[in-house]
Structure 1
């Protein structure tokens, strides 16, 4: 079969932007390779819209409840992290979306299904339907929901993840260490045409704070003022779609030339490229983007679950620092801003961990695997 005749189904979910961004990066790479029949599907939204909506609201609520010591998302993550294949609860989650997925497979008849979210129904159905099944892990830690014996091939971020999957019974050639797919724009940044050069002072170190929708900035506004009074730095604060936060911060820092407030921006990579470090949450995609740009990371109060595990992995590699109080974060940033040697050391440790152009590498390997499978005699 010609490559252009192949058809691909990418299964994703809208829990945060990470899974969607990775899926879009893969989809674009497939299109660049001449694959025309490709579908990106939010399976939980398609199959169970009400449950999907409730689940997303519970996730967002859990991020706010953490400040009161209630971390039910984190608790559920760790309770189910080591579940075996035939655990009743795991079997229940495995079958979410099964009926809808079978309908879509019957309608679209894909040659391959790619999981960018742990829908275990996909490899199970694919395995019984003579369809290749691939899984792209979008975090730096493994949870049992990603593991399914019907998966033909895994694409992971690190050798450590590959080693862990090998203990689950998979073979060496079933697991590729490719990195996590990110937007192609992170590989095509023009320093000369960077629009943020007109905003940021070129001779000042820039602390980029990605506050986003979860209100991190509401706790560290005092720290921002303290850092500005004790160091010769500037702050670039991205509020995302939290317009109320952006408005409040613009009012609080009105007239301060060292504080730059942004709402939602679609060229975050250009702002990151001019920054000295980033204060952010520990999503797999965000950390991979920082790794790509050799941007040291400071993680404030990581959410329980995969984000905390991501944070611990990065801290263990010496390329990120975790803080659980404003005072701790401020002390870490002061040390970073005043000690150039430590800052350089963090950046140097990032280089060996960086896996460039993950989406292209994954797509080329998937197409090669599909071609070899189709050529095999029945």
Structure 2
């Protein structure tokens, strides 16, 4: 069986999700050839580099424009056509002819859109599974020829249903994380109460505060060790490395789970995948000044579920929030909520849904899925009410 996972590097969340899904399938008990394809890189590596550079520029310098576009399309009609579809749809047909997949899994909206168009045009019965990589009900994820949706929370399910998606097509699997995060024995406390560990991450694009005041404040925290992962922000890495005695600065790393293992709290831009990695690592989250619209929704989810809080403001206000969370009474509260949520997610593993979906193959006989997986909605013990409506 040939499985293609389509993705892209708009940030690293989509690609990280794709690699996590591949890892979980490879570790499952059935024989499947799984390939992850960066859709833009497949079309043209040169074009991909230009697109990704522009996206990086947009989220760093043009966030207002990005958010305006996001909101305009958020509650528009579903089954949206991808940008430049007249040009790229031929490339997609070439991809399908070349790879001849039995199943398509998409972690990027545009890939789901192209696959839906391909199925419409050709009458193909190849199953399309869309894995939504943020806690969002954005219309760009919804296409009429998608067979299954993997989503992170009941709020996304509710939003999708309100937009016409059949409940039987939606499974609240949580967002996919690497196997290292699914090892329940891996994350055991190695810290003493005499020394606290803070992990700061800016995501794949390294979107972290640029002013020294923030880091100087962290340096002054007593009995605290700080590790900063700057991702691909090489400029910030060069500015911060070896500057502070109690702060360790790293660039892009592949073993984030090693650092989460030792952390008491994580300060980060609240990407969807990072949020669920923290849940599985049982580490409370301080969502750092969320500015992109999907980050804002992810941060709302963090706060509503009681697994962390949001930091807004200057370095002094941030420091106050950090010190408040590091109080062990607060840590216990957040960790208790995380453990409840993690316990629910562990009952409905993405791999179980994937295995059942793949075993069903092209028949898509999913009548039994709802009865098995829908109870997760009733099992949530934490009140989650998030509105995605733009006012």
**TM tier relative to shorter chain:** 0.7 to 0.9
Which residue in 2 is equivalent to 1:318?
A: 306
**C-alpha RMSD over aligned residues:** 2.8
Distance 1:268 1:210, change over 3 A: same
Which residue in 2 is equivalent to 1:216?
A: 208
SS in 2 for 1:71: helix
CA distance in 2, matches of 1:129, 1:58: 34
CA distance in 2, matches of 1:373, 1:86: 21
Which residue in 2 is equivalent to 1:239?
A: 230
1:184 deviates by 0.9
1:25 deviates by 1.6
Which residue in 2 is equivalent to 1:305?
A: 293
CA distance in 2, matches of 1:94, 1:155: 25
User: Is 1:38 matched with 2:29?
Assistant: no
Deviates most, 144-153 or 33-42:
33-42
Q: Which runs of 5+ in 1 are unaligned?
A: 1-5
User: Is 1:333 matched with 2:322?
Assistant: yes
Which residue in 1 is equivalent to 2:139?
A: 144
- Provide the TM-score with structure 1 as the length reference: 0.84
User: Is 1:85 matched with 2:78?
Assistant: yes
Which residue in 2 is equivalent to 1:133?
A: 128
1:47 deviates by 2.8
Question: How do 1:6-155 residues align onto structure 2 when only pairs under 5 Å count?
Answer: 6-32=1-27, 33-47=29-43, 49=45, 52-65=48-61, 71-85=64-78, 90=81, 92=83, 97-118=88-109, 119=111, 120-127=113-120, 128-155=123-150
CA distance in 1, matches of 2:272, 2:87: 24
Which residue in 2 is equivalent to 1:226?
A: 217
Deviates most, 258-267 or 47-56:
47-56
1:205 deviates by 0.8
- Find 2:250's aligned residue among 262, 270, 274: 262
Distance 1:329 1:174, change over 3 A: same
- Provide the TM-score with structure 2 as the length reference: 0.82
CA distance in 2, matches of 1:104, 1:350: 41
Number of residues paired by the alignment? Answer: 356
1:372 deviates by 4.5
